[in-house]
């Protein structure tokens, strides 16, 4: 009787875990769908983002996103790396950068984050776009 009760409790616990995982997947999918609309940023929000990055760095985007009512971690990260971070070059590519990009792609394949580390000053997205266009 005790073993049966233990087995039943174990089954119930596993079912609860499975239900929680399914809910988490659904919630994640819902949040991704919400992000597909165009996200606008005000200059005040840009200032808050800059301030939060200076306080918290770029390792924990959840902390940064928590300071906004309607911005996800992904949106904050994308805004920083695509528009606000002055560490990255924008504009035309030099012939040297193109050569380095091609060599790095042969070495790393399409692992754009690794390639971006070699082609310094460019984001992984900029590297991918340059290579594929």
Whether this prediction's pTM lies above 0.85 is answered by no
d(CA 74, CA 55): 18
Please check whether residues 79 and 113 belong to one and the same domain: no
User: Across the chain, what does the average pLDDT equal?
Assistant: 83
Residue range of the domain that includes 21? 1-34
Please check whether residues 16 and 44 belong to one and the same domain: no
Q: For position 129, what pLDDT does the model report?
A: 92
The total number of structural domains that make up the chain: 3
d(CA 71, CA 41): 9
Please check whether residue 85 is in contact with residue 104, taking contact to mean a CB–CB distance below 8 angstroms.
no
Q: pLDDT tens digits for 27-61?
A: 554 555 555 567 889 999 999 999 999 999 998 99
d(CA 75, CA 32): 11
Please check whether residues 47 and 80 belong to one and the same domain: yes
CATH of the domain at 53: 1.10.10.60
């Amino acid at each position: 009787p005790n073993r049966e009760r233990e087995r039943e409790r174990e089954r119930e616990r596993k079912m609860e875990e499975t239900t929680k995982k399914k809910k988490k997947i659904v919630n994640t999918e819902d949040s991704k769908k919400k992000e597909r609309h165009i996200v606008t940023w005000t200059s005040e929000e840009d200032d808050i983002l800059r301030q939060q990055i200076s306080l918290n760095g770029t390792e924990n985007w959840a902390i940064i996103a928590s300071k906004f009512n309607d911005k996800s971690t992904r949106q904050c990260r994308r805004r920083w790396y695509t528009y606000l971070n002055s560490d990255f070059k924008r504009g035309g590519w030099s012939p040297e950068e193109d050569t380095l990009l091609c060599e790095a792609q042969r070495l790393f394949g399409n692992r754009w984050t690794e390639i971006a580390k070699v082609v310094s000053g460019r984001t992984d997205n900029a590297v991918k776009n340059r290579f594929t266009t």
